[in-house]
Structure 1
């Protein structure tokens, strides 16, 4: 399996935007650290709208997402995805997925330690550390976007399958973002920043490992 010629330039085109996204995330972090660490108006609105009552079906879904997106859950999902890609003899794709998660975790934990934004005052589920950005949202976006990029740049896959991968990736990230607000452990702005960070990490991880044209080799060249 090799990269689609029509998608070969996707990562190169997205790379400058990924760096711009990182700058935006850092700038918002600086604002939260030195100017206003509390919630924005839209944060408070979404905090009231997205909440899930304990014992409800929505709460059960949110808790499932919290466990699936935890440090152990995200690491396990990334390891499984990388192992499957290695089994398909796509070492560059496997490395890009793993690298995206490493970049995302490093950036997320650094921002958390520097920004120190307080979490919402009424958590419905256990959470530790500071609020900005959402690590769960970052991990979901990093993994989902990485896999969608693999699919987008695999010419042997039907266009409908590639489109489905993007839909599934977006859906997973959006549900994860909702779950963090529903459990009252993050503000909306935390989840938006986390998702954007994960997308940027996915693009940069892909760019680091997959550079060559589709006829270069079968190891996931782009």
Structure 2
């Protein structure tokens, strides 16, 4: 079957390869952290001390809001389900299924790495969090959301907004001392990797779905 009759086949290969590389990097960084012992990296200690000097009620309030938006029932359930419902409303059911699957795979991958490496969180953490510091689940969730949104809507502004969202989430997690800086890097790697691996599985039906939507819009126009 030719590529013309299989739209999305080319991107699927790229998603698969890139996703595998990113997941491998997240595992590799986790293994490095594990073999390094309980002591954090020098850059982790430096950044943790630096953000402590930036303490302010405004930044603390902002970071607590990000803590709520990126985790718990809102970040894990409301955002994925809400996004899927919105995609179904605009008649993109395959995109909705991809969005939900990417979020689920990302969350599962984070928990696997957390329990595999069991890194201790910073002692000065000021919020309640679950087991394991590596990788950051909030950052992974934010990254999966950003990458999935760009896969579905490949626009420059979507990429920019997504990147800003991820950076702000990473900052808030380290500001609250919920994670070391390297934890947020791991979150980006596993979050993006999961989103791209799932995109590889959904690329063909999503491409067909998008092509039909474009054809319908053209016929109506």
When normalised by structure 1's length, the TM-score is: 0.85
Question: Is the contact between residue 139 and residue 184 of structure 2 (CA under 8 Å) also seen in structure 1?
Answer: yes
- The match for 1:50 is 51
CA distance in 1, matches of 2:98, 2:89: 15
Q: Which has the larger radius of gyration?
A: 2
Change (3 A) 1:136 1:213: closer
Question: Alignment partner of 2:153: what SS?
Answer: helix
Rounded to whole Å, the distance in 1 between the matches of 2:103 and 2:122 is 26
Q: 1:115 aligns with which of 114, 117, 135?
A: 117
Bigger share in helix: 2
Bigger drift between 31-40 and 91-100 goes to 31-40
Deviation for aligned residue 1:212: 5.0
Q: How much does 1:191 deviate? A: 0.5
Any conservation in 2 of the 1:118–1:130 contact (CA below 8 Å)?
A: yes
* Structure 1 contact 38–118 (Cα < 8 Å) conserved: no
Question: Any idea what SS the aligned residue of 2:204 has?
Answer: coil
SS at match of 1:206: helix
- The residue aligned with 1:158 is none
Distance 1:59 1:214, change over 3 A: same
2:19 matches 1:26: no
Check the 8 A contact 1:92/1:219 in 2, yes or no: no
Quote the Cα distance in structure 2 between the aligned partners of 1:37 and 1:145: 32
Cα distance in structure 2, aligned partners of 1:215 and 1:84: 19
**Residue ranges of structure 2 left out of the alignment (5+ in a row):** 1-6, 215-221
Structure 1 residues 213 and 110 mapped into 2: Cα distance closer, same or farther (>3 Å)? closer
* Aligned position for 1:191: 184
Q: List per-residue Cα deviations over 1:133-152 (Å, max 9, x = no partner).
A: 00000001111210111111
RMSD across aligned positions (CA): 2.2
Q: Is the 8 A contact 2:15 2:199 kept in 1?
A: no
Q: Residues 24-173 of structure 1: matches in 2 within 5 Å?
A: 24-51=25-52, 52-53=54-55, 56-74=57-75, 75-152=77-154, 162-173=155-166
1:70: how far off? 0.9
Offset at residue 35 of structure 1 (A): 3.6
1:181 to 160, 171, 174: 174
Cα shift readout 1:33-62 (whole Å, capped 9, x = no counterpart): 234232111111111222352x61111110
Q: TM-score, normalised by structure 2?
A: 0.85
SS at match of 2:167: helix
Equivalent pairs counted in the alignment come to 205
